[in-house]
Amino acid sequence: MNATTLTSSPAAPERRHGARRWLLAFSSAWLADWRERRRDWRVWLVLGVGVALAGCAALLSSLELRATLAAREDAQQAEQQRWSQQGKKYPHAAAHYGVYVFKPLSALAALDPGIEHYVGTSVWLEAHKQNELVYRPANDEPGVNRQFRLNPALVLQVVAPMAMIFLGFGMFAGERERGTLAALRINGAPLGALALARGAVLLCLAMVLAAPACIVVAVLEWSMDGRSPFSDGALRAGLFAIGYLLYLAIWAALIAALSAFCANLRTSLAMLIGLWALTTLVIPRAAVELSQLAAPLPTMQKFRADLDNALSMPDDPAQARLDQQQLLREYGVADVKDLPVNWAGISLQRGENHGDQVFDDYYGRLFNAMRRQTAAAAAAGWLSPSMAVAGLSSAAAGSDTDHHIQFIQGAEQQRRAIQLVLNKAITAHREHDGVRYDGDQSLWNQVAPFRFVFDAIDLGGLFQRSLLPLLALFTASLLLCAAGLRHLRNGNLR
């Protein structure tokens, strides 16, 4: 057998039979590989360990999410009751009495909690202040849990590719090492059909690890009974599934490519493990560190000090006098005591408006820096498929930075709505003989309960940040696989 025979003889029957022969070769190779793997105890061992790990991750994440949702729902109801039944008091005192609101979570957050363990879960809404979120779950956990949290996303991003490597590193390298690939090629089997069939089997085995996650999402979505914080939950679940399917398909193609290039099993395994470590461990960590350098954030102490200094500067007193004089002219009176409305309420709302401008300025710059950090880290998705799919899954689950900012802004809008209701009530009731108006439950109930729903997912931004890099890497992995097969066709069979 020489190189000319090996590379030219299979081509003639392939051309004669065309697509039909190719499909027949694919189905035969798929069945043969499936039967072989089904009889291999090592496959069952890898899958058993992987499914056990994935099942534990899914079970723990689902139980934790259900307990968290139940606790937040109970706390939110208790807060609403506390607010509604606070008794009679001056409305501005009620504004300082305040109320807590809690961040909602989706069923997909059980699969990819994203940054949820490292950011606050609730925020206190009170007059004059935009407070930070408090009660970060990571603060109550031991150090090892803060650094390494077992969840389905981690299993799919890190463990599943490793399992695929152990099951597929000998896809072609093993036959080259044993010298059986040449005999297989003499039978006229198209290498493309072989690669696709074996890659498909590998992908199917990897998808077994995703089964516990799918079951968890279905159960949680059913148990939430329409309380999802998403209006487009089905679309998000579909994007989540597509992203991980692409991710695992990239690894299947990479394993086939490197196995075709490598002449023996040891080299194939070493190169694949090195690639896995580089793309799932090294690049993501480096991307996070570099993103912090690209868009540095101020320390919380400095941010709060600068914000307090800006708030301490009062609203323009000259403009306040002009507004007061304008109001006196409108009602045809000479003194604020003669106004049919309460100037105290108007003045309080003016102070809120001034504070709102300061908050929008300072928090707007902070949020823009956070978004730049996210964009800088997402750029690593063009080099690492795990970075690309991590960005996609956390965005679909609503557990990324953008969705956290959405909640902060939604909570702030609720705070401003509360102040507006209370200040309007003060404005509408003048003081009589120095006695101020006291609100009661009817006033407190005018504040609508906080029910936050995230915006529909930004498909354009998600495609640019995550899906496009995944598609590009998938195309590149297919081209690399084709190059590896060409390497074999050119006679490099042993």
Averaged pLDDT of the chain: 87
Q: Which carries the bigger pLDDT value, residue 16 or residue 202?
A: 202
Mean pLDDT value across residues 284-308: 91
- Assigned domain for 448 exists: yes
Q: Report the distance separating Cα 313 and Cα 303, nearest Å.
A: 16
Q: Report the distance separating Cα 391 and Cα 462, nearest Å.
A: 8
pLDDT band, residue 145 (cuts 50/70/90): low
Q: Show the domain range for 432.
A: 22-490
- Assigned domain for 278 exists: yes
Backbone angles phi, psi at 295, to 5 degrees: -140, 75
pLDDT band, residue 11 (cuts 50/70/90): very low
Q: Is 432 helix (H, G, I), strand (E, B) or coil?
A: strand
Element containing residue 130 per DSSP (H, E): strand 129-130
- Assigned domain for 141 exists: yes
- Characterize 154-191 residue by residue with b for buried, 16 or more Cβ atoms within 10 angstroms of its Cβ, and e for exposed: bbbbebbbbbbbbbbbbbbbbbbbeeebbeebeeebbb
For the cut 80, the answer to whether the pLDDT of residue 460 exceeds it is yes
For the cut 50, the answer to whether the pLDDT of residue 144 exceeds it is no
Q: Report the distance separating Cα 376 and Cα 184, nearest Å.
A: 47
Mean pLDDT value across residues 121-146: 78
CB 391 within 8 A of CB 114: no
CA 349 to chain centre: 37
pLDDT at 450: 92
Q: Report the distance separating Cα 256 and Cα 55, nearest Å.
A: 28
pTM: 0.89
pLDDT at 388: 96
Q: What is the pLDDT of residues 437-457, one digit of tens each?
A: 999 999 999 999 999 999 999
- Assigned domain for 93 exists: yes
pLDDT at 399: 93
- Report the number of distinct structural domains present in the chain: 1
Q: What is the pLDDT of residues 380-434, one digit of tens each?
A: 999 999 999 999 999 999 999 999 999 999 999 999 999 999 999 999 988 877 7
Q: What is the pLDDT of residues 356-389, one digit of tens each?
A: 999 999 999 999 999 999 999 999 999 999 999 9
pLDDT at 39: 87
Asked which of 47-56, 135-144, 255-264, 397-406 is least confident by mean pLDDT, the reply is 135-144
- Assigned domain for 17 exists: no
Query: Taking the CA atoms of the chain, what radius of gyration do you get in angstroms?
Result: 31
- Assigned domain for 232 exists: yes
Strands (DSSP E) along 127-240, which ranges? 129-130
For tokens 């534990």, name the residue: 56
Share of the chain above pLDDT 70, in %: 91
- Give me the residues paired with residue 432 across strands: 435
pLDDT at 16: 47
- Assigned domain for 187 exists: yes
- Assigned domain for 15 exists: no
